[in-house]
Structure 1
Amino acid sequence: MSRAGGDAAAAALERAGVETVRRAVELDLASRFQESLMCYQEGIDLLLQESLPKCLCFTATKDEVKKQHYRQKISEYMTRAEDIKKHIEKEKQDGKYHKQIKIDENATGFSYEKLFQEYLNEIVTEVWVEDPYIRHVHQLYNFLRFCEMLVKGPCKVKTIHLLTSYDEGSGKIQQISSLEEIKQSLKNHGVTLNVSFSSSIHDREIRFNSGWMIKIGRGLDYFKKPQGRFSIGYCDFDLRPCHKTTVDVFHTKHTKKT
């Protein structure tokens, strides 16, 4: 790489790192610690990438004061990230962790992967879904997409429990047959689906045996109907507009209700 190219690469990396840690500080001040930690880690990683020290040998970055400033700031960010990590872990141990995500009307970028992937590590082997509206065709497809995400990993889900309510109209037979088809398909992937019904269920929540609990105001059905079968967002839920809703994330010591 030429000296000019090295300077440009260093400058771009510097801007990305600085912008990311600036966002981390903003989230930190807003007490959005989980998001802040992720930004601190990403920003620090950008500033510590191997390419940056190599580029520091060029004339544009020979300012020792500037380099010392970066060393000091990176050290401070690393210390703060470690403090946040300990804080989050303590909240989880005390059962006090709470993160809230507000999804605006017509917002995009909120696929199931974006919402849940952060909590689906290899510890997750069992999932509980309580949602009274897994009835109509599009809601059944939503649940299927959620199951597909679990099958893809990186979690090692072996059992999924679904508690929902019966379709009170003519779609009851289709609802039952569709859930049975999902059950058989999951079985082919080594996953057991247990389905039960309740006429009094109102809560909408998803729990993982790792301790994470996610409550979505609209349950899994927070996506708007696509404009057509061949419109953008029909297949990729990150591009699908959403209804306005709120997502609350908790961490508790016990996820299975007694």
Structure 2
Amino acid sequence: MEDSAAVMLKRAVELDVASRFQESLVCYQEGIELLMKVLKATKNETKKAHYREKISSYMSRAEDIKKYLEKEKEDGKYHKQIKIEENSKGFSYEKLFQDYLNETVTEVWVEDPYIRHVHQLYNFLRFCEMLVKGSCQLKTIHLLTSYDEGNGKSQQISSLEEIQQSLEDFGIKLDVTYSSSIHDREIRFSNGWIIKIGRGLDYFKKPQGRFCLGFCDFDLRPCHETTVDIFHKKHTKKP
């Protein structure tokens, strides 16, 4: 475990030096946790003192990075990129979006050309459920998508109308607009945060079966490879 902690903390320092602070913070936190377990298992008082000193030093740096990132978020300069690897797990909508949803969010804009097929419509429904359960005071969801080009058009429209009616029970309006020219995928919150996902909301793989882990809990569902970029609208303004 000591070797694992050393490897993780070495990586944290390398990322820190490279100014990749978000990734560095995660490595610091994981490395510190491992080192604390080593400390608890150590009987030698000299080694204990050494580990305590190291832990204190790394915790101090991690706290500085955390404060820096919080300031960046407040100033709208924060930019986080998440690379979701093929078949990786733990990337539910809650995990991606919850840090950027707060009580000031009243409107959400979703631009995604592929809210068409049944599984994509279910993805959008899951996304809406996540919003409803969040701490935001949501009033309106705006969806810009494209019509299904095949035989599923009527099902697409009726499914979105059903979601629309269901949201009304929670005091939320769903405004759906269709466009034949939309290509980009983007999600925007009224508090200024913008999330761009390469695959839009459709980055989960098909479950292996209806009774397999991951069918209901998206944190356990394998993902397709994609990239997520998160930034504030202030970040896009020219000085």
TM-score greater than 0.5 by the shorter chain: yes
Gaps of at least 5 residues in structure 2 are none
1:144 is aligned to 2:125: yes
What's the TM-score, normalizing by structure 2?
A: 0.78
* Other structure's SS at 2:143 match: strand
Q: What is aligned with 2:81? A: 100
Amino acid at match of 1:190: G
Q: What is aligned with 2:16? A: 28
* Other structure's SS at 1:31 match: coil
1:130 is aligned to 2:111: yes
1:203 is aligned to 2:184: yes
1:207-250, Cα deviation, whole Å (9 max, x unpaired): 12233211111100111222332333222222222222111111
Q: What is aligned with 2:158? A: 177
Amino acid at match of 2:16: D
Superposed displacement of residue 83, structure 1: 3.1
Amino acid at match of 2:184: D
Q: Residue 92 of structure 1 contacts residue 252 of structure 1 at CA under 8 Å; is this kept in 2?
A: no
- Change in Cα spacing, 1:44 to 1:212, as seen in structure 2 (3 Å) is farther
* Other structure's SS at 2:79 match: strand
Amino acid at match of 2:140: T
Q: CA RMSD in A?
A: 3.4
117-126 or 189-198, which deviates more: 117-126
Q: Could you tell me which of 64, 82, 87 is aligned with 1:83? A: 64
CA–CA separation in structure 1 for the residues paired with 2:226 and 2:156: 25
What's the TM-score, normalizing by structure 1?
A: 0.73
* Other structure's SS at 2:234 match: coil
CA–CA separation in structure 1 for the residues paired with 2:55 and 2:102: 28
Q: What is aligned with 1:109? A: 90
CA–CA separation in structure 2 for the residues paired with 1:108 and 1:150: 21
Q: Could you tell me which of 179, 197, 201 is aligned with 1:220? A: 201
Identical pairs, percent: 77
Q: What is aligned with 1:8? A: none
Which is higher, the Rg of structure 1 or of structure 2?
1
Superposed displacement of residue 70, structure 1: 5.6
Superposed displacement of residue 36, structure 1: 3.8
CA–CA separation in structure 1 for the residues paired with 2:126 and 2:168: 16
CA–CA separation in structure 2 for the residues paired with 1:230 and 1:27: 40
- Change in Cα spacing, 1:22 to 1:209, as seen in structure 2 (3 Å) is farther
Q: What is aligned with 1:240? A: 221
CA–CA separation in structure 2 for the residues paired with 1:254 and 1:160: 23
CA–CA separation in structure 1 for the residues paired with 2:148 and 2:214: 27
Q: Residue 102 of structure 1 contacts residue 245 of structure 1 at CA under 8 Å; is this kept in 2?
A: yes
CA–CA separation in structure 2 for the residues paired with 1:17 and 1:159: 46
Count of residue pairs the alignment pairs up: 235
Gaps of at least 5 residues in structure 1 are 1-11
- Change in Cα spacing, 1:147 to 1:16, as seen in structure 2 (3 Å) is farther
Q: What is aligned with 1:163? A: 144
- Change in Cα spacing, 1:40 to 1:186, as seen in structure 2 (3 Å) is farther
Amino acid at match of 2:135: P
Q: Residue 32 of structure 1 contacts residue 99 of structure 1 at CA under 8 Å; is this kept in 2?
A: no
Superposed displacement of residue 26, structure 1: 5.4
